[in-house]
Amino acid sequence: MPTADISPATHLAAEVATQPDDWARAAAVAAEYRAVLPQPGERVAVVGCGTSLFMSRAIAALREEAGQGLTDAWPASQLRLGREYDRYLFICRSGTTTEVVRAMEQVPAHIPRTVVCSSPGTPVLGLGDAILIDEVDEKSVVQTRFATTTLAILRWHLGADLAPAIAQARAVLAEDPAKSLAAVRHAEQISFVGMGFAASIADEAGLKLRESCQAWTEGYLATEYRHGPISIAAPGRAVWAFGALEPGFADDVAVTGAHLEHRDIDPMADLVRVQQLCLLRAADLGLDADHPRNLNRSIILEQ
């Protein structure tokens, strides 16, 4: 199979590379907007579409794990009203996604609405308390740094120290991905797994490869993987685990002959490795990683 190096000319490559600095700056953003981010004890709904939905699920898992209060994550197209939420938090890179605009308009006026967006002058910014992070906006259709920086803002807000994750991501970016990702570069199929917020990172990892290089990927809770999905594991395929491994998981994967990819690093830093894999595999296939097939930056539906 022909191979190629990551092209530094792609927007995706440039945007992936800024993430450690973006996450570091996110601490100041979290402090500046503390008053409009979810407060301890509030009942919160986090809302998004696509990648933003996966970040919503990650935020919900982290907030509940931190004991900050009930937190649900919903796709904007299936917003739950009437559940006595104290705040809605919307995530929308483009600021124009039809489902998000409609959902924000449906929230009763007396309930606080916060929206994280990277696109100035867009409709969602006038529909709630806006956190505009245009410094991480992207030219690539494929989301990377906007999503992870939004997650970083909420992690800082919840009291996490992201210094280790930032250092790990910088170390990842300093590696030669052709060597560090050799075992998964040509895998026929990859299943991503994780627990807690890492399960949402697993879903996001699979989406990135499907978008950028049309790969066969799936995402599961690590504990659910053995309840059926493991049946597709085989030599030439891979299982990529984010976060700590469940007891016995590595042994169960080994029996199948599939490769187990795992590093004991923060799932956000490990996601950077997946983003690099996207670039490698897209280059191998001669695909434009910035402009996935059948996909636009914003989904705008007819009224």
How confident is the model over 242-258, as pLDDT tens digits? 999 999 999 999 999 99
pLDDT at res. 64: 98
**Model's pTM, two decimal places?**
0.94
pLDDT interval class at 291 (50, 70, 90): confident
Residue 1 has pLDDT above 50, yes or no: no
Rounded-to-integer distance, Cα 155 and Cα 68, Å: 12
Rounded-to-integer distance, Cα 275 and Cα 272, Å: 5
Burial class of 2 by CB neighbour count within 10 A (0 to 12, 13 to 18, 19+): exposed
Residue 232 CB neighbour total at 10 angstroms: 15
What does the angle CA 119 – CA 123 – CA 128 come to, to the nearest 5 degrees? 95
The SS3 call for residue 112 is coil
Smallest CA-to-CA distance from 140 within 173, 94, 99 is with 94
Tell the residue number behind the tokens 């797994």, with chain if given.
193
pLDDT at res. 293: 74
Rounded-to-integer distance, Cα 99 and Cα 263, Å: 36
Q: Residue 25 has which token pair?
A: 């700056």
Buried b (16+ CB within 10 A) or exposed e, 62-95: bbbeeebbbbbbbbbbebeeeeebebbbbbbbbb
Rounded-to-integer distance, Cα 29 and Cα 51, Å: 21
Q: Are 15 and 140 in contact (CB under 8 A)?
A: yes
pLDDT in tens, 195-218: 999 999 999 999 999 999 999 999
